[in-house]
Structure 1
Amino acid sequence: MDYEYDTLMSMLQTSVSKHLMDEHYTLIWANDFYYRMIQYPREEYESLFHNRPDLYYPYHGYRDEWEKIVAAVTQMLAGGRSGYSLTTRMPVKGGGHIWVRFVATFTNEYINGCRVSYTSITNIDDLVRVQQDQDITYNSLPGFAARFRFKRNHEIDVWDSNDQFNGFFGSPEDHGAFQALLKREMKANERAVVEHRREIERGDPVRMLLKLHGKDGQTAWLQTQGECVDWMGGDPVYLFIFIDITDLTDLKEMQRELEEQAQQLREALALAESATRAKSDFLSHMSHDIRTPMNAIIGMTEIASNHLGDTKKVSDCLDKITLSSKHLLGLINDILDMSKIESGKMVLSDDVVSLAEVMENTVAIIQPSIKERHQKFSIRLHDIHHEYVSSDALRLRQILINILSNASKFTPAGGSVTMEVEERELLSSGFVDYRFTISDTGVGMKPEFLSRIFDAFIRAQDSRTDKTEGSGLGMAITKKMVDLLGGTIAVESRVGQGSAFTVCLPFRIVDAPGDEAPGPSDLCGLRILISDDDGMVREYTVEALRELGVEGEWADSGKKAVEMARAAKEAGRPYDAVILDWQMPGQDGITTARQIRGEFGPGLPILIFSSYDWTDIMDEAAAAGVDGFLSKPVFPSTLCRGLRRYVLRQLPEALEQPQSWDFSGRRFLLVEDNDINREVAAMLLADLGAEVEFAGDGREGTGRFRASPAGYYDLILMDIQMPVMDGYAAARLIRAMPRGDAASIPIVAMTADAFVEDIAAAWEAGMNGHLAKPLDITVMKREISKLLTSE
């Protein structure tokens, strides 16, 4: 867990360090980014400077910067402050420096009698250099510009100045302390500064009108505006801009330019401070969110170990460990995704995507959350004509799941979540626009949060949602993925009424696979009765049947469906099948199926369709006479497959039963260098009847395969990151061996490398499948079973 925590700290792209508040400000610990920022390897830094910053700064010729830091710390401690912030220069290896922003917090923790502090250091070098080199440079500002340090002894030092200032008053060597410069002018100028002393001591903006003489004796009336840009040893450092208003005809325009430049300065400073605060807040939240499930995992493990004889207690502990582990994995995945996106390394795939399959998988993933909260879940389709498109199915599914998960998470028990999918228009030849709208009746969002919902590290500060866990990255990741796919995302929300997210994505149309194409020729002439209490679902389903050449009629209740089926039979035009919604008010689908089966006997196919998980009612449905199930949303291909299977009987065994995962008699070779990972995988497979043999790295794995007779192993599970020989090289070597089963034996990557490019690399190395760690037992069983049955 410490390794994962340190890894997460390193991925924040900001320096985080822990210090003793002794005379050396001794460094106790720092993340990897700290050392990357100063360009020293950790070992070299410790060897040269013994973790003492008071040696590091003078060594590089920056003793004045170190004294500035010491002065700030000393003043804040003396004033009883809880921390400090400071903009300064940090030396780096090889000479030179970078501009950084320190934000430090003093804790109540003590080590050997010395107080401990935590410091976040943000690299703002680019921002400062932009200010220096582009729009906000001294030489580009209108009029004279200079920075002054207002000392507590009432002296005023010129820190630096632009060419216009130096040209009027003389070079820094000439004008020296600004206090002396003022004294050679009228007393009123000195009084102007004194009158604003209180505002200056607080760091507030100030404006003054001064009459000054230049180095050549010329006189100028200068309108002066100052902004506090830094603090040095507790003294405020101000940037002052002087506009010559001697020529009053130019006053208005010059004042406007002054305000614009001052606003640019404020915005630039606010940007740097906001970024620092956001990352600091995120670090605080993530520290809590990561340690919470870690505490549960460690605590429940200890409790289970102490109660091994109490199977009920152990089972409860294991359930809570599983829940906490999945939550921790979700946090890690969010941070990994965000890091990948921010670094520009997120790779999108371009595959043939079945929207029906994406929707079915999405619904299957979100169903447990909906069921646990007793929420109503409905899906509606509009004008779907192109089900198969080219896109990244994984990212599309992730976008929908992120939004649906939030909708369910922030909707109270008994509320509703609705997803609507609409094919809108052909954007150009071969392309179509899809709109996904996900709405809920949840708690809603305040306007001030709504405007920042897609920012990273942002979470709503609201008593209604404080207990809801999350990383604050989900919506930021969603927005960036939508952008990568070339789409748009918008949100509307009202507090207490709910929210609605709308995602529009362009897709390139592709042809359906041959066996999936919904050809109407074999379905023409069928008459189907649809019963659903949702009018939009009824109308869409009847229209989809019509496009398949099927005559569809609808009923708005179970009772009405029975009456219509009876009337059709009496009129000599019986229905070829009846499709019933499961959860209809009054008389549900199973009750209706039981009544129809009782009246019409076994010859009439009866199907149930629903967006809920029906595994709990399969036995009851079968007993009521139900032949099969269809998943909502009902795409045309879903109807086509269902009618061919259950009405035309083109596919065997209509009613699906839970699949049996029995690998008895199968022998697997597990190539894995980590003992614990090897034990976990072996035990899971052994519980399914498989015999498992081991190899500790790729070279040993290829040797075992080479030494075995052909057909000895049924499947190879291959880790990727291993010493001696990695999984890619091992897979290629096996495929190149001159033996009959080398080209055909299934090889499955089993690795923590889970991005799209990692999966592609496994395929390129000759592997047949990919399992991401930590292992999902259901996914593992399904993947292995699929490969074994396809032999």
Structure 2
Amino acid sequence: MEEQFLQPEVDGDYNLLMCTMGVSVSKHLVDEHFTVLWANDFYYDLIGYPKEEYEATFHNQCDLFFARNKAGWDTIVEAVTNALETGKSRYDVFVQMERKDGSLIWTKITASFTEEVYNGHPIAYTVITNVDDMIQKRIEQTIAYENIPGFIAKYKIRKDGSLGLLDANDKFLSFFGIKKENISTFPTFSHLTEKSRIVLDEHIPLMQKGEPVHFVICSRNKNGSYSWFQLNGECIGCVNGESIYIIVYIDITDITEQRELQKKLEEQSQLLKDALDFAEKANQAKSDFLARMSHDIRTPMNAIVGMTAIAGAHVDDHERVHDCLKKITSASNLLLSLINEILDMSKIESGRLKLSEDEFNIGELLQDLIVMMQSEIKNKQHKLDIHVSGLHHENVVGDIQRIKQVLMNIISNAIKYTPDNGQILISIEEKAPHDGIANYEFIFEDNGRGMKPDFLDKIFQPFERADDHGISSIQGTGLGMAISHSIIRMMGGDIQVESEYGKGTRFTIHMPLKYHEKAFDEKIERPELSVLVVDDDKTACLSTCNCLSEIGLESDWVCSGSEAVAATRKRHKEKEDYFAVIMDLKMPGMSGIETTRQIRSAVGPDVPIIILSAYDIDEYETDARKAGANGFVAKPLFKSKLLQILRRFLEKGEVRQVIEPVKFSEVDHSGKHLLLVEDNDLNREIAEEIIGSTGVLVETAVNGQDAVDKVMQSAEGYYQMILMDIQMPVMDGYEATRQIRQLPRTDVVNIPIIAMTANAFSEDVANALNAGMNHHLAKPIDIKALMGVLSTYL
């Protein structure tokens, strides 16, 4: 029986077939040796031993054959044991077998267990195949796969455009921190930058078509740092309509960073070059500016010095002295404006300009500006129109001085750069009030010289002036528009300019301002009363009529004096006289005064006629009253002012001119005691003279300590006011104010202390108030403002 198993009768054709196919077929006992019971000829050819030598050397015991290849034997034993323990009928295993010449070849062993038993051990049939070439290629590929300078990953490109990771080399797994068993669940390309995600998405349609792809991405690794990769992908097959891709990642981080560094260096080099060009241009502009300033400052200084000398030489000629003083004042104001603009520009460039928050009325502000510019408008004989639209919030909060500065600068430029007999239009409109803030739009239009296109790009740059021989004689620093632009931007607004050379200019300012009241909604509610509005400016007529409608009155309007006379005569004849007539002063053909005279002649004295004008009414007041005018109002006409005027007529009162300058010599504060604290002798003399003209008894102190001593030594309530300079020797005005407030007496708590100083910026005002002062006056002293402060506190 045993001999039969050792040398079975095998079909010669079968054995030949197996050898021809290169397949080893053998029968083994499943014992501790895996003893060979029988094997075909290829079995021996495979291991390189003749059958007789194999049997003599190893006694058909496989463990002896694998004695020098323990790893291979352990692999076989583990595979057989696992198969038997798990109840499997077969096993497959790849192992290396050592041939007689000492070489190793890779083989695939496939064995099936049978129910046959020999000497108590099961029998297994085994097929051994030479797979050395295949395994060697796989090993070579694996070595290349793992040692390529980059990563390799295998992807499935799904129909919906998403990518599934199928396999990857160890470098890829290590970079992203992926475990081998989690490959299928790893969210592919989830670590890309936003721009790289866009690049990938652009290439997915190509991969869905199976086309080769090459692109660069930037991806984050498991530690959070980023690297740059060149991706090269090739389609290797298609499963169920979905492309399979091998993608090679080549790390180009160093190259990319070098490129980025080079790019940054080039950009920085360009920035430095631009900065150098800008600095050179700025230096040249400042040099030109200083040259102009030397001329512009010396011009008014020459006038001041020269006129002072002339006045001194003609002290007995009162008219000549008066003329010199007038010219000295004009030159002084020009010099002061030059100095203020230089200081403002310095503040803006250093970032130290601060905006204050003052409560003011927009109508009054603009009216003040118009009054201040009256003489210039008159000298150049300009026609000025003012349009107001949709103004519901007149009382607002903002830096009134800076806003005045901006608006004055633009109005002044319009007057200066518009040839004589020009036209200037100012429009104001409130837009989109929301959450306590309204956007006020100011438009300034003129038909003056205009600007060339090349200067429009530079108009808001400091130290720039238009290169135009036609305006070379007009004085200016080239700072006004730059300062105005900076102030408006600090307020959160914007300023724009449109201009056509030789035709005119239009400035538009958008200024957001907080309002501290509800919309103006007071009304007269007398619809039976009708008002006639007369103005050659149709827009002005419609604006005034709209205001009348909003306060509850009916109105008609006409654009000429003759139409006004005809309309009033008709209503008078019908015994339905107008309640009032609002008449523009200057109109072509028949003036407002002549129209008033003819209306008064036609309808008698009962219809009030109000003269409305953007010009100085003083020189026309006498003639207008003789013609029958009842009152005078300065433009612009706001709803609140219109309501006030008409209510006075309802109460049978008379409207007085709204802007009526008060001469300080008419103010009487006799019996009041005031302490003037000033270290400069000349300034002290000037202040004493001006303040003393009101009847106030002025006492002086030469520094802060002197002021503290005088207050401390005075009786309770002796001083009704203290005017305090800031920069003084011994003790400055801030400290003096603090010490006065802390004196052990009752009157110092409420005594008005007013800063009167050349420290004129917004932070100086804040510092004065923080020190305990009540108000701030900037030098040179505005006499009207000083008189207002005296009247307020005395």
TM-score range, shorter-chain basis?
0.5 to 0.7
Q: Give the C-alpha shift of residue 501 in structure 1.
A: 1.0
Q: Confirm whether residue 397 of structure 1 aligns to residue 404 of structure 2.
A: yes
Q: Confirm whether residue 531 of structure 1 aligns to residue 538 of structure 2.
A: no
The CA deviation string for residues 274-305 of structure 1, in whole angstroms up to 9 with x for no partner, is: 12212221121112211222222222222322
Structure 2 alignment gaps of length 5 or more: 1-259
Residue type of the alignment partner of 2:507: F
Give the aligned partner of residue 310 of structure 1: 317
Give the aligned partner of residue 282 of structure 2: 275
Give the aligned partner of residue 435 of structure 1: 441
Give the aligned partner of residue 463 of structure 2: 457
Q: Confirm whether residue 408 of structure 1 aligns to residue 415 of structure 2.
A: yes
Between 748-757 and 702-711, the greater mean CA deviation after superposition: 702-711
Q: Residues 712 and 256 from structure 1, CA distance in 2 versus in 1: closer, same or farther, beyond 3 angstroms? A: closer
Q: Please, which of 663, 667, 670 is the counterpart of residue 662 of structure 1? A: 667
Return the alpha-carbon distance in structure 2 between the equivalents of residues 260 and 668 of structure 1. Answer: 65
Give the aligned partner of residue 511 of structure 2: 505
Secondary structure at the aligned position of 1:500 is classed as: strand
Q: Residues 743 and 462 from structure 1, CA distance in 2 versus in 1: closer, same or farther, beyond 3 angstroms? A: same
Indicate if the aligned counterparts of 1:524 and 1:548 stay in contact, CA closer than 8 A: no
Give the aligned partner of residue 737 of structure 2: 731
Q: Please, which of 553, 556, 560 is the counterpart of residue 553 of structure 1? A: 556
The CA deviation string for residues 157-207 of structure 1, in whole angstroms up to 9 with x for no partner, is: xxxxxxxxxxxxxxxxxxxxxxxxxxxxxxxxxxxxxxxxxxxxxxxxxxx
Q: Residues 721 and 522 from structure 1, CA distance in 2 versus in 1: closer, same or farther, beyond 3 angstroms? A: farther
Indicate if the aligned counterparts of 2:386 and 2:425 stay in contact, CA closer than 8 A: yes
Q: Please, which of 585, 589, 601 is the counterpart of residue 586 of structure 1? A: 589
Q: Residues 702 and 488 from structure 1, CA distance in 2 versus in 1: closer, same or farther, beyond 3 angstroms? A: same
Give the aligned partner of residue 191 of structure 1: none
Between 586-595 and 668-677, the greater mean CA deviation after superposition: 586-595
Return the alpha-carbon distance in structure 2 between the equivalents of residues 460 and 732 of structure 1. Answer: 50
Q: Confirm whether residue 564 of structure 1 aligns to residue 567 of structure 2.
A: yes
Residue type of the alignment partner of 2:365: V
Give the aligned partner of residue 489 of structure 2: 483
Q: Please, which of 722, 728, 745 is the counterpart of residue 722 of structure 1? A: 728
Return the alpha-carbon distance in structure 1 between the equivalents of residues 500 and 317 of structure 2. Answer: 49
Q: Give the C-alpha shift of residue 535 in structure 1.
A: 0.3
Secondary structure at the aligned position of 1:493 is classed as: strand
Q: Residues 403 and 541 from structure 1, CA distance in 2 versus in 1: closer, same or farther, beyond 3 angstroms? A: same
Between 298-307 and 445-454, the greater mean CA deviation after superposition: 298-307
Give the aligned partner of residue 376 of structure 1: 383
- TM-score by length of structure 1 reads 0.63
Q: Confirm whether residue 337 of structure 1 aligns to residue 344 of structure 2.
A: yes
Residue type of the alignment partner of 1:541: T
Give the aligned partner of residue 50 of structure 2: none
Q: Confirm whether residue 614 of structure 1 aligns to residue 617 of structure 2.
A: yes
Secondary structure at the aligned position of 2:484 is classed as: helix
Secondary structure at the aligned position of 2:373 is classed as: helix
Give the aligned partner of residue 781 of structure 1: 787
Return the alpha-carbon distance in structure 2 between the equivalents of residues 739 and 579 of structure 1. Answer: 57
Indicate if the aligned counterparts of 2:753 and 2:774 stay in contact, CA closer than 8 A: yes
Q: Residues 266 and 780 from structure 1, CA distance in 2 versus in 1: closer, same or farther, beyond 3 angstroms? A: same
Indicate if the aligned counterparts of 1:518 and 1:637 stay in contact, CA closer than 8 A: no
The CA deviation string for residues 17-45 of structure 1, in whole angstroms up to 9 with x for no partner, is: xxxxxxxxxxxxxxxxxxxxxxxxxxxxx
Alignment of 1:606-755 (within 5 A): 606-649=609-652, 659=662, 661-663=666-668, 665=670, 666-737=672-743, 741-755=747-761
Residue type of the alignment partner of 1:662: V
Return the alpha-carbon distance in structure 1 between the equivalents of residues 709 and 267 of structure 2. Answer: 72
Give the aligned partner of residue 421 of structure 1: 428
Indicate if the aligned counterparts of 1:353 and 1:392 stay in contact, CA closer than 8 A: no
Secondary structure at the aligned position of 1:553 is classed as: strand
Return the alpha-carbon distance in structure 2 between the equivalents of residues 528 and 271 of structure 1. Answer: 60
Residue type of the alignment partner of 2:440: Y
Q: How many residues align?
A: 532
Indicate if the aligned counterparts of 2:441 and 2:511 stay in contact, CA closer than 8 A: yes
The CA deviation string for residues 430-483 of structure 1, in whole angstroms up to 9 with x for no partner, is: 433222111111111112212111111111222101111111100100110111
Residue type of the alignment partner of 1:402: N
Q: Residues 504 and 570 from structure 1, CA distance in 2 versus in 1: closer, same or farther, beyond 3 angstroms? A: same
Indicate if the aligned counterparts of 2:768 and 2:776 stay in contact, CA closer than 8 A: yes
Residue type of the alignment partner of 1:376: K
Q: Give the C-alpha shift of residue 429 in structure 1.
A: 4.3
Return the alpha-carbon distance in structure 2 between the equivalents of residues 523 and 511 of structure 1. Answer: 25
Q: Give the C-alpha shift of residue 346 in structure 1.
A: 1.3
Indicate if the aligned counterparts of 1:751 and 1:771 stay in contact, CA closer than 8 A: yes
Q: Residues 284 and 527 from structure 1, CA distance in 2 versus in 1: closer, same or farther, beyond 3 angstroms? A: same
Indicate if the aligned counterparts of 2:531 and 2:553 stay in contact, CA closer than 8 A: yes
Q: Give the C-alpha shift of residue 329 in structure 1.
A: 0.4
Q: Give the C-alpha shift of residue 742 in structure 1.
A: 3.4
Return the alpha-carbon distance in structure 1 between the equivalents of residues 369 and 655 of structure 2. Answer: 27
Structure 1 alignment gaps of length 5 or more: 1-252
Residue type of the alignment partner of 2:646: L
Residue type of the alignment partner of 1:297: I
The CA deviation string for residues 630-654 of structure 1, in whole angstroms up to 9 with x for no partner, is: 2211111121122123333579978
Return the alpha-carbon distance in structure 2 between the equivalents of residues 343 and 552 of structure 1. Answer: 54
Q: Residues 626 and 765 from structure 1, CA distance in 2 versus in 1: closer, same or farther, beyond 3 angstroms? A: farther
Q: Give the C-alpha shift of residue 256 in structure 1.
A: 11
Indicate if the aligned counterparts of 1:668 and 1:713 stay in contact, CA closer than 8 A: yes
Secondary structure at the aligned position of 1:519 is classed as: coil
Q: Please, which of 296, 303, 306 is the counterpart of residue 303 of structure 2? A: 296
Q: Confirm whether residue 320 of structure 1 aligns to residue 323 of structure 2.
A: no
Secondary structure at the aligned position of 2:469 is classed as: coil
Q: Residues 483 and 728 from structure 1, CA distance in 2 versus in 1: closer, same or farther, beyond 3 angstroms? A: same
Q: Give the C-alpha shift of residue 763 in structure 1.
A: 3.1
Return the alpha-carbon distance in structure 2 between the equivalents of residues 590 and 760 of structure 1. Answer: 49
Q: Confirm whether residue 764 of structure 1 aligns to residue 770 of structure 2.
A: yes
Asked which structure has the greater CA Rg, the reply is 2
Q: Residues 429 and 769 from structure 1, CA distance in 2 versus in 1: closer, same or farther, beyond 3 angstroms? A: closer
Residue type of the alignment partner of 1:330: S
Q: Give the C-alpha shift of residue 521 in structure 1.
A: 4.6
Q: Give the C-alpha shift of residue 257 in structure 1.
A: 11
Q: Give the C-alpha shift of residue 540 in structure 1.
A: 0.9
Identity of aligned residues (%): 46
Return the alpha-carbon distance in structure 2 between the equivalents of residues 389 and 257 of structure 1. Answer: 49
Indicate if the aligned counterparts of 2:723 and 2:756 stay in contact, CA closer than 8 A: yes
Q: Give the C-alpha shift of residue 384 in structure 1.
A: 2.3
Q: Confirm whether residue 367 of structure 1 aligns to residue 370 of structure 2.
A: no
Return the alpha-carbon distance in structure 2 between the equivalents of residues 260 and 761 of structure 1. Answer: 45
Give the aligned partner of residue 173 of structure 1: none
Q: Residues 321 and 301 from structure 1, CA distance in 2 versus in 1: closer, same or farther, beyond 3 angstroms? A: same
Return the alpha-carbon distance in structure 1 between the equivalents of residues 305 and 508 of structure 2. Answer: 41
Q: Residues 521 and 722 from structure 1, CA distance in 2 versus in 1: closer, same or farther, beyond 3 angstroms? A: same
Q: Residues 641 and 735 from structure 1, CA distance in 2 versus in 1: closer, same or farther, beyond 3 angstroms? A: farther
Return the alpha-carbon distance in structure 2 between the equivalents of residues 478 and 558 of structure 1. Answer: 40
Give the aligned partner of residue 86 of structure 1: none
